[in-house]
Structure 1
Amino acid sequence: MSFAITPAKRKSVPMLISLAGVSGSGKTYSALLLAAGLAGKGSVGFLDTENGRGSMYADSPGIMSALPDGYEIAEMKEPFAPSRYSEAVDGFERHGCKVLVIDSMTHEWEGHGGCSDIAENNKMKGTPNWILAKREHKRMMNCLLASGMHLIFCLRAREKIKVMKDANGKDQFVPIGLQPIQEKNFTFEMTLSLLLEEGTHRPIVTKCPEPLLPLFAGEQPLVTKEMGRKLRAWSEGGAPAEENPDVLFKQGTEYAAQGTVSYTDFWETLTGKQKKLLLPKHDENKELARMADERQKPANVAPAAGLDY
């Protein structure tokens, strides 16, 4: 038998997140804050298709506070072909980025040289060649899904109308609200999809895994770096979104058993409330982490420095 069948275990999984909204809804700013939390100590990349607008936030006090070391940026000019997005994602990953913000992903679908242009410019018997366009789009999606980075996509949104037949067979135009401008199945590939309100910038959840729903319970908070930290913790199998002392104790012990670096990374993903809940076990976990370090290091290596958190 060529397949190895083993018990299922929770593994670290890169997240694909979409933030959709009209112009001025806070997509770029929110995406950078989310990226700051997702990256932890890793670097954040930014693919700018908006003629350099991504650099406008480099000196924003809020972004500078969230990303003290800044973020790496590259500009993409037209054509916005799917293959160029794949190339850019590969380039940022090779550059060492842990999180990549793509602003805007809408250009890939209806920007100059994007899928709409591919279909129109390669007509077959006068009909737009959507088979070709969607094939190129699918290849790009396979690249995105295979990336080891967390990917955050900013999407433009517009009001859409659905045509439906009434009881008499006549067409009725029914508004269906704001919809992301992308291929219709794009959001189904996302781990998390949010629609940002124009006035408040608050996120409306359009797709979310059940374990993350507590993040968005009650009155919707603004997107923050802290939210990104919680998403990273979940993606890495760390602290759950809800505050559950038993789960935190168990996970703290598991991370401490892997050493100081592992436990430090786990501790830094926790909220203030979660740290307070875990505090009774914190010193015990730090000692467990030190012991793990001792077991793992080669002989004649100096002891590790003390934990300062």
Structure 2
Amino acid sequence: MNKTILITGASSGIGKASAQFFSAKGWNVIATMRSPEKETELINSPNILVTPLEVTQQQSIQEAIGKGIERFGKIDALLNNAGYGTSGIFEAMSDKTIRDQFDVNVFGVMNVTRAILPHFREQQSGVIANITSGVGKIPFPLVSVYVASKYAIEGFSESLAYELDSQNIKVKIIEPGYTETNFQQRAFSDSEPTVNPAHYTDFLNETNALFNSLGSENIASAQQVAETIFNAITDGTQQLRYIAGPDIVSMIEARDNKTEQDYVEFLRGMFAPNGFGNRK
């Protein structure tokens, strides 16, 4: 029997590329999304079931899992990919913006994971792959709430991995860098309009100029990230973290090899080149 994976957030980007990649490798795919009626490509593959799933709604999650098991017999892997980013000066963000970010990126992952665990536990096998981000290890300014949500999933996933070893269930963390998807554009366009205090003007101008100057030669494609996800889920090892994107390799190596304070000063030099952090 072919193996089956359930993927959240499969309507675009890494989620959709992963659905296509696993399908091409002979896997059955439960491609879930909030608006499956808009999907026009995945529905044409006989081994892909496109079905609704809203990660903040328990009934929706249970129904998607039930439909997947009914169609393919069992589920062997879960890819928690659904999520979004919000950006801006933290001080200007509303309470709703912050809570909505955590509802999807953190509690949504927990909701789907908890719902699939009885199935994995019963069969004493399963792999859970959680998409975090390079910023889950390398925090950037202007995305503090998004960074916090990814740090939360990093910690949750590692703790859960030790817990689920007892049930022969593996947990994998995928850390993509900047990726060729519409994620970044959506992060800025979907963010709540805010009025920033004037004191941040110089910092915003310099930081935005830095982001705009970053080259695109090392950006990974969604297909390349999907390949990393496939390798993580199928390699049969106890490896926990997988870097998906050449642009963050050197920065993660710097984090691993520098002292904590040296690394903080390294990032501070990037984001505060004019010494904002040294003002009295």
**Which interval holds the TM-score relative to the shorter structure?**
0.3 to 0.5
Higher relative contact order (CA 8 A, sep 6+): 1
Which of 1 and 2 has greater Rg?
1
Q: Which has the higher strand share?
A: 1
